Each structure stands twice: as C-alpha cells, then as structure tokens.
Structure 1
Amino acid sequence: ALFIVARTAQLIDGRVTFGETHLFVGSGYIVSVRHGPSTSYAAVRQHWESCPHSLAKGEDFVLYAILDFIVDNYMPVLEQIEDEVEAIEDKVLLKPMTAPDIERLYMLRRDLLRLRNAALPLVEVCRRLTSAELPQIHTAMHPLFRDVTDHIRTVQEKIDSLREVLAFAFEASLLVGQSQETANTKKLASWAAILAVPTALAGIYGMNFDSMPELKMEYGYPVVLTAIAVICTFLYWRFRKNGWL
C-alpha cells in the first residue's frame, strides 16, 4: 500500500491557513483523511462517479484526481492574493506605506513562502509515483501525474512572481518616502535661507554700538526694509525656479 501526505491551503480572514490530507492507497481501495482547512472532495467523487469509464481505470486514477484537485485549489488562494498585491501596487506610488501596510506586506510574503513550501514537495511525490519502484501505479497513469507536476510548477512560478512584486513594492515605497523627505528638506532649507536675510540684517542693526554710521541715515530704515524685500523676493524666485519651493 501507499501512504501519501499532501498539504492543502485556504484563505481565511486574509491569512493562508494550511491543512493536511492523508491518502492510503492499496489494491482496490483508496482512503482520504482530511485534517485542518480543506475543500471537500465530494465534488471530485461526484464528478468521476458520473464517468464510470474513467473511474474504472483504478485507484491510481482516483489518486491522480485528488492530487490534481488539491493543486488546483492553490490557484483561488493565489488569485485572491494577487488582487490584493495589485491594490498595493496601485497605492504604493501615491504615498509611502504606513506601519499596518508594511506589516500586511510582510505577512503576504510570509504566507506565500509557506504556500510554496507546502506545494513544492508534491513535485517529489509525483516523481516517485511515476517511477518504476511503485508497481501499484500503472504506467498509463504516469503522464497524468506529470501533468500534476506541471500544475505545481505553475503555482510555484506564480508564487515567486507575487513575492517579487511585493519586494519591488516595498522598495518603491521606500524610494517614494525618501523622495518626499528630500522635497520637505529642500523646502525647509529654502525657507531657512530666505528667513536668514532679515534675521542677519536685523541682528546687525540690533547691535548697540555708537559708531554705526547707518544709524544716522534719514532713510536708513526704508532702505533696509527694501533691501530685505528685494533679496527675499529674489531668493524665493530662485528657489521656486529650481523646484525647491
């Protein structure tokens, strides 16, 4: 008899939760025992019982049908995650990520890695099922198990691409945040430079020295105010032209 363990996955409350299916396969029988989150296999049974010709191929065909069903159920989980990843992509360039956004991104990457680790061992399972060491599996069934392997590879590629997109989204968010910080720094530096002019002039003429010649000028006050206004206006125009303000 054969004993096979396959990991199942479902998306519950935004998190990927995992279960296990234990398959006992022998001459004339196959028993499946489900633990944890998993879609019922009643649909598989009803489908193939309506096709007696396919079901007559034996218990190894039923094993293929269950494994294929388990792998196919990874895709709805990935599709829901993909929708959320696309929403993150659309938002990441508009504003930097908040702490809850970064936490959610980390959880998605972690769940995708766990899903990859759950799905990938089935490649080795299918390889063993197509080897000559297992006489319980008919040679005619080998292409079907290879087809399951191809589906697992597709799931793996999709998981890897989603994890890569999430990594790029995080990096893009950091760049957006740094860009905004740089822009704010430029604005602060520009206003500091503009305010430095009246501060410097007011500081100079605020010194209490008796021998300051400008203190006796009749039009000294309006001249100084005019100089402050002209210099500050020029600096504002210059910073505005350079895109700092």
Structure 2
Amino acid sequence: MSMAGNLRKVGNLRKVGGLRRVARVAQFVRKHSRVDLSHPARSPLGSAVVKCVTYRGGVRQEDGRDLVEEVERVRKSGDGFVWLGLHEPTEQEFAGIADLFDLHPLAVEDAVHAHQRPKVERYDETLFAVFKTVCYVEHAELTATSEVVDTGEIMVFVGKEFVITVRHGRHGSLGPLREELESAPEQLAKGPAAVLHALADHVVDDYLVVTDAVQADIDQVEMDVFSKDGERADPGRIYQLKRELLELKRAVVPLGRPLQILATQPMQAVAPEIQAYFRDVDDHLKRVTEQVASFDELLNSILQAHLAQVTVAQNEDMRKITAWAAVIAVPTMICGLYGMNFDYMPELRWKYGYGLVIGVIATICFSLYRGFRRNGWL
C-alpha cells in the first residue's frame, strides 16, 4: 500500500468513534507517562491502553499528540515508530486499533482471546508473535495445593512503523522493560524489531528466574524425602510440583521453534543485525528447556524413591509383626494343649508341673526374641 493510501486511510479512520476514544485515552496516558500501570493494568479511564509513545532515533518523544496524529506523522516522515501497549483489550477496544494499523483479523482474534501457544506468524508486512510469560508464586511452605507457577501471555504486532504489545495475565508488566530500552537509545533506534528482541529476551530471562526458584522447591522436597522420616513425607507435594512443572514446560518448550524462525529465516520486519540477538535468546531458552527436562526426571526419581521408602517401611513393620506373632504363638500353643479336657495327660497331677510349663514357655519365647533381635527383625 502506498504512503498516500495510508494517509487517506488514517484520515477516514479518524472519523470512527471507537478510534477517537482510543486516541483520547492514549493522549491522556502520555501526559501521565510515569504512572505505574502494573496489574490491574488498566489506565485511569478504564481503557485497555496502558501506554502510547513515539520514538525517533531511539529517543522518546513527548509532544502530546493523539494516537492517530502520531501514526500519521510517523508515516509521513518515515522516521521512528509508535509503541502502543494494551492490557486485556476487548474486541470493541481493539477494533479501531486493528483498522488503523491494518492488522490481520486472525491475529486480532488471537490477541483478544489469548490462550495461545507461543508462535510467530507473518501477515504481509506485519509480524505477529506470542510469548508465554511465567511468574514464580511465593509461598511460606510448599503443600499439596500450593501454586508455584503463574502464567500469562504477551502478543506482539511488529510493523514498519509500529509495535503493539497486548498483555494478558496478572504479571509481566512491561514498564521496567520500556524504561530499560529508553536508557539505551542506540538499541531502540534499530526500530520495532529491537523491541521484539527485548521482549523475547525479557520473557526468557523470567524463565531462568522461575527455574532457579523451582529448583529450590525441588531441593527441599528431595531433602524431606531422604531425611530420617522420609517415608512420612507427603507425596502430594511431589505431584503438585510435577503439575506446576508441566505448566512451566508448556510455556517454555513451544517457544523454541518461533525463536529459531526469528533467528534464522529472513523477514522484512526483522533486520539481519537483530537476528543475531535472537540467536542469543534461543541459546538461553535451550538452557531453560534442558533444566525443565532435568527437573521432570528428578521429580520422577524422587517419587520412585519415596514409594520405595514406603515399601521398605511397610516391610519393616510386617517383619516386626511376624516376629511378635511367632513369640506369642509358643505360649498360645502350649496353653491350648493343656486346655484340652482329657482325663489322662502327663504332668496334670504333678506337683511341679505348672512351674515347669511356665519355665519352658519363658525359655522358648526368650530364645525366639533373642534370635529375631539378632537378625534385626525386632
């Protein structure tokens, strides 16, 4: 589409009521640019627009224009780009923005409804990427119902003169990332692809933080299982860790292919010099993937060890019960023998018969006890 066609389209879209509301909200947010808009990341006006900033030469512009005017100005000059940040927009809130930036309907649907796998898709000159964000949930003590990993999503639209980030979830605020990029204007001057790389790097760095925290939980469970009373450890904690690890795995593993695409396949939205940075992010992701796989194997081993400990403890109990049953069987047998109602039995009329029987019972029981004790059964 020609530049003149873009400008005519922008002029027509300014007449749309929904787009005007988006523009007014974006202008309000720019005037309050230092406000912390982390979750619930809605602007004071209740809109999904969290931040709208224009960058030229890697430098943030503070000129107070609304969204449509900023886009028009960037398209006219061919310099800089607009970074629009949203949090959980509705279809109505996103409709005007989709028209303004000519976003593909399928990508718009994914961005609004979320619950997508990590992926990268190309729609003409626009790149659409989905990242799963993760956050470690702090807990005083790990239980069978503890939440360990919380996940969210970040969708990114990257075009020639814009970046649109759509965030879903209770965490993953991009305010600190934006400030970090603004402190490095030489990187931000490389365009929207630099923002996409920074987002991917930010997400993968969070993966590393979460895996380190999960490692501490696994170490604690492992210590409890192999402690003196390890057979009494709650196996529900191990199963809970495996469930939470599965949620982390669903966020980490599918991102491998999209990062490889960004790092190797040529595309208009990503310059070759930026692709080298994506290769570094891919290396970090492979490290996380290997850690998650090793955690899964380690938890399986811990669970098997715990089940083996329980079996050994049960066998110990059964041996003790069996040994005492053998000891008790001796007096039961002898007393049962002399309890029979026969008129003629040995020692029935003998003066020392009672003492002799008691002595025999005590001797046999003591011998059995000593033998079981020596063999470790008691």
- Which band: TM-score by shorter chain? over 0.9
In structure 2, C-alpha distance between the alignment counterparts of 1:210 and 1:56, rounded to whole Å: 114
- Contact 1:10 1:18 (C-alpha < 8 Å) held by counterparts: yes
Residue 42 of structure 1: aligned partner: 175
Query: Map of 1:9-24 to 2, 5 A cutoff?
Result: 9-12=134-137, 14-24=147-157
Note the residue ranges of structure 1 that are not aligned, 5 or more in a row. Answer: none
Runs of at least 4 residues of structure 1 off by over 6 A? none
In structure 2, C-alpha distance between the alignment counterparts of 1:10 and 1:145, rounded to whole Å: 22
Q: Which has the higher contact order (CA 8 A, sep 6+)?
A: 1
Partner secondary structure for residue 211 of structure 1: coil
In structure 1, C-alpha distance between the alignment counterparts of 2:285 and 2:347, rounded to whole Å: 86
Residue 159 of structure 1: aligned partner: 292
- Contact 2:152 2:172 (C-alpha < 8 Å) held by counterparts: no
The normalised TM-score by structure 2 is 0.62
Residue 10 of structure 2: aligned partner: none
Partner secondary structure for residue 215 of structure 1: coil
Residue 57 of structure 1: aligned partner: 190
Aligned counterpart for 1:119 among listed residues 240, 247, 252: 252
In structure 2, C-alpha distance between the alignment counterparts of 1:244 and 1:234, rounded to whole Å: 14
Instruction: Provide the aligned C-alpha RMSD in A.
Output: 1.5
Residue 2 of structure 1: aligned partner: 127
Map Cα deviations across residues 1-41 of structure 1 (whole Å, 9 max, x no partner): 11111111123363322211110101132121101133211
Aligned counterpart for 2:363 among listed residues 194, 214, 230: 230
Query: Map of 1:128-143 to 2, 5 A cutoff?
Result: 128-143=261-276
Counterpart AA for 1:43: P
> How far apart are residue 97 of structure 1 and its match?
4.7
In structure 1, C-alpha distance between the alignment counterparts of 2:259 and 2:285, rounded to whole Å: 10
Partner secondary structure for residue 216 of structure 1: coil
The normalised TM-score by structure 1 is 0.93
Note the residue ranges of structure 2 that are not aligned, 5 or more in a row. Answer: 1-125, 140-146
Query: Map of 1:56-95 to 2, 5 A cutoff?
Result: 56-93=189-226, 94-95=229-230
In structure 1, C-alpha distance between the alignment counterparts of 2:173 and 2:198, rounded to whole Å: 13
Bigger share in helix? 1
Map Cα deviations across residues 30-70 of structure 1 (whole Å, 9 max, x no partner): 12110113321111111121112222222212211111001
- Contact 1:130 1:137 (C-alpha < 8 Å) held by counterparts: no
Map Cα deviations across residues 182-238 of structure 1 (whole Å, 9 max, x no partner): 111111111110011111111111111111122122211111111111111110000
> How far apart are residue 114 of structure 1 and its match?
2.1
In structure 1, C-alpha distance between the alignment counterparts of 2:330 and 2:164, rounded to whole Å: 86
Partner secondary structure for residue 231 of structure 2: coil
In structure 2, C-alpha distance between the alignment counterparts of 1:121 and 1:134, rounded to whole Å: 21
Partner secondary structure for residue 155 of structure 2: strand
Residue 55 of structure 2: aligned partner: none
